[in-house]
Amino acid sequence: MIFGLSIARRVQFWTIRLRDNQPMNLKVHSESKLGLLQEAEKQRQQLETHLVQVSGDLKSIFRELQTHLIELEFENEELRRSEAELSKLHRHFFELYEHAPVGYFVLSQAGIVLEANSACYRLLGSDREQVVGRSFGRFVHPEWHDRFFYHLAQTAQLAVKNSIELKLRIDEKTSRYILMESIPVPAQSGHSKNLYSVAIDVSERRWALETLQASEEKYRLMFNEMVSGAMIVDITAWENGNPADAVVLDVNPAFERMTGLARENAVGKHILEIFPQTEKYWFEALADTPKLGKTTSVEAFHRQLGRHFALTAFRSKQGHVVITGVDTTELKKGEQALRLELEKRIAERTAELTESIQALEKQIEKREQVEKELTRANEQLKARADQMRRLTGELTMAEQRERRRLSKLLHDGLQQNLVSARMKMGVLRDEVGGFDLKYEMDKVRDLLDESIQMSRSLSVSLSPPVLQSEGLAAGLKWLCKWMQQKHNFNVDLCLESECRLPKDVSIMVFESVRELLFNVTKHAKVSWAHVRLQQIEGAIRLSIQDEGVGFDPGRLEAAPGKDEGLGLFSIRDRINLLGGTFSIDSAPGKGSRFTLIIPCANASKEAPVFS
């Protein structure tokens, strides 16, 4: 700048000199022309001299201007590099500002947000339009407004960096805690000050602190209100690997009541200073407490206090030893009194028990005699039951023999006579004349045919041959076909397993099933029933089920003498004589199920047969 001004002054100087030496300014004298020519020559020489000097100065100025132009080009290149570096730094710091993990924003002294970065928008849960140009106080919880505006005023007044913790209300259900640090910076107007602020989300730390404070308060309350006495100590002396003394850090009110020692007289003092007569075994019990998680207990008599105590000690995470205990003196006295009372009662009870044992021994002797008599009676009853079973079997077989006899009599006697009479009737019909007589003889022959069929049916029903020859399963199959043919009643028979039964048992079971199916046809008002035979462990189970009108089994028990119940009770008695059970499951409108379970210890199980 100084070089440029110097050149300008020099150009101005020579311009004025040239102007002052113009020919019109030459002095014209009244002397002779020669004088004038000499003067003009003199002036010309001076002018030429001046021109030479001006030309040299102009060349020098031109060289200086060229040098200055080159310097300006270097300076412009340096300015361009500086401008590029400045632009790069600007972009770099803008990215740092915009993408910083903490919120940056500029506030006016009134709390208006002038500028903010993306982290600030995320922290407030709003976009730029809802933040910039609006009061930051609208995001502060109403209960914290005073603290926020005091922070603004104090920061602007003290002109130093200031920090505060604020609670933000993001919406009706969400709140957040931030640590806000602000520093005042003069605004562009030069009068008021803006605040450059940083906001850091400390919600988790704040909530953890509140949780910790609540926990400390809870445990402090527990410590002070617990019934057991508590004392926190630090072991300060060791002897042969065992604690020898400890300093008291804190005690609770229960400890004061238990020992009669005020807190201010215990805290900060050694145990042996407070209780110099404390026995060594109290300290030996604390030997394992330095191990975290190890709990030790001791119960003994403290001679100086003259009381019994039960103590438990453990190490806290802070490294202190926590000792809790209860005064067991009264308990010990109660235990002693209870022990004496128990010994007295035991002695009395022992005497009573001795007498009772003697009486029981006599009763046992009498009971053994009664049991022997009962055993003999049971044996007699068992023998009679066996005799009844045999008699029942014999009666069943006698009944079956009588049935076979009657069946044979019908087959060999009556049926043969009826067949002979029918044959003779046929011969006579061919010999006689007259239509009316032949018509009457045809009617007689039809009656004979019907009688022959009835005789055959009666003969078979009295003693089914298949039952005698092939056993119970075959007899049940025949019975199902016979019920359908004779009574138009369908029976769904399911033989899950066939087994061999004694003949008399098979006949009794067959007759029971036939009796039950007759009852279904007469009373259930249905056209079908389901019969299922299966073998279970040591017995066979046979069930007859229908979906008819049903009945109330209790009514039969209440009036067992009525005719409709005699058949069922007869079946139950016969099954009971076989050592089995007969049960009825029925209700009005819900059908009926009859279940027979018959022991068959000697039965042989065959391959399953399904029908």
Domain boundaries, the chain: 2-80, 99-209, 226-327, 469-599
Residues 442-463 as b/e (b if ≥16 CB within 10 A, e otherwise) read eeebeebeebbeebbeebbebb
Give the sheet arrangement for strand 175-186, strand by strand. Answer: 113-116, 103-107, 193-201, 175-186, 162-169
pLDDT of residue 497 exceeding 70, the answer is: no
How many C-alpha atoms does 166 have within 13 Å on its Cβ side?
30
DSSP letter (8 states) at residue 144: G
CATH class of 226-327: alpha beta
How much is the pLDDT for 536?
A: 82
* Whole-number average pLDDT of the chain: 77
- Tokens representing 511 are 């007759």
Confidence of residue 607 (pLDDT cuts 50, 70, 90): very low
Comparing 129-133, 206-210, 428-432, 552-556, the range with the smallest average pLDDT is 428-432
Return d(Cα 163, Cα 177) in angstroms, integer.
13
Query: Dihedral (C-alpha) 64, 70, 72, 76: value to the nearest 10 degrees?
Result: 180
Return d(Cα 494, Cα 473) in angstroms, integer.
10
319, amino acid identity = G
How much is the pLDDT for 418?
A: 67
Return d(Cα 120, Cα 109) in angstroms, integer.
19
Confidence of residue 280 (pLDDT cuts 50, 70, 90): confident
pLDDT of residue 67 exceeding 80, the answer is: yes
Measure Cα distances from 41 to 11, 27, 37, 46 in Å: 26, 13, 6, 8
How much is the pLDDT for 595?
A: 92
> Which spans in 114-237 are helix H?
118-124, 128-131, 145-158, 203-225
Of 554, 546, 494, 485, which is closest to residue 521 (Cα–Cα)? 546
How many C-alpha atoms does 563 have within 13 Å on its Cβ side?
1
Comparing 225-239, 251-265, 437-451, 579-593, the range with the smallest average pLDDT is 437-451
Give the predicted TM-score (pTM) of the model: 0.34
> Which spans in 99-201 are helix H?
118-124, 128-131, 145-158
pLDDT of residue 191 exceeding 70, the answer is: no
Residues 378-396 as b/e (b if ≥16 CB within 10 A, e otherwise) read eeeeeeeeeeebeebbeeb
Return d(Cα 520, Cα 491) in angstroms, integer.
11
pLDDT of residue 609 exceeding 70, the answer is: no
Comparing 101-110, 193-202, 430-439, 582-591, the range with the smallest average pLDDT is 430-439
Taking the alpha carbons at both ends of the chain, their separation in whole angstroms is: 128
pLDDT of residue 194 exceeding 70, the answer is: yes
Helix (H, G, I), strand (E, B) or coil at 493: strand
Helix (H, G, I), strand (E, B) or coil at 177: strand
Query: From the centroid of its chain, how far is CA 90?
Result: 56
Helix or strand run (H / E) with residue 197? strand 193-201
DSSP letter (8 states) at residue 600: -
- Tokens representing 151 are 């922070």
Q: Fold identical between 226-327 and 469-599?
A: no
Tens-place pLDDT, residues 351-364: 888 888 888 888 89
Query: From the centroid of its chain, how far is CA 575?
Result: 55
Measure Cα distances from 405 to 397, 456, 462, 475, 508 in Å: 12, 14, 9, 19, 18
Q: What are phi and psi of 179, to 5 degrees?
A: -100, 115
Return d(Cα 154, Cα 350) in angstroms, integer.
90
Return d(Cα 23, Cα 45) in angstroms, integer.
13
Comparing 193-207, 218-232, 482-496, 510-524, the range with the smallest average pLDDT is 218-232
How much is the pLDDT for 3?
A: 38
Give me the mean pLDDT over the 383-406 stretch: 64
Comparing 401-405, 468-472, 583-587, the range with the smallest average pLDDT is 401-405
- Tokens representing 488 are 């138009």
Read out DSSP for 252-314? -HHHHHHH---GGGTTTSBHHHH-TT--HHHHHTTTTTTSTT-EEEEEEEETTTTEEEEEEEE
CATH tag, 99-209: 3.30.450.20
Measure Cα distances from 103 to 184, 196, 463 in Å: 17, 11, 108
User: For the chain, what is the largest distance between any 2 Cα atoms, rounded to a whole number of angstroms?
Assistant: 221
Q: Residue 341: which residues within 8 A CB-CB, separation 6 or more? A: none
Cross-strand pairs, 197:
105, 182
DSSP letter (8 states) at residue 320: P
Helix (H, G, I), strand (E, B) or coil at 195: strand
How much is the pLDDT for 15?
A: 53
For 469-599, the fitting CATH number among 3.40.50.10860, 3.40.366.10, 1.20.1250.20, 3.30.565.10 is 3.30.565.10
pLDDT of residue 230 exceeding 50, the answer is: yes
Q: Could you give the percent of the chain with pLDDT greater than 70? A: 75
How much is the pLDDT for 495?
A: 84
Confidence of residue 470 (pLDDT cuts 50, 70, 90): confident
Return d(Cα 442, Cα 434) in angstroms, integer.
12
Helix (H, G, I), strand (E, B) or coil at 605: strand
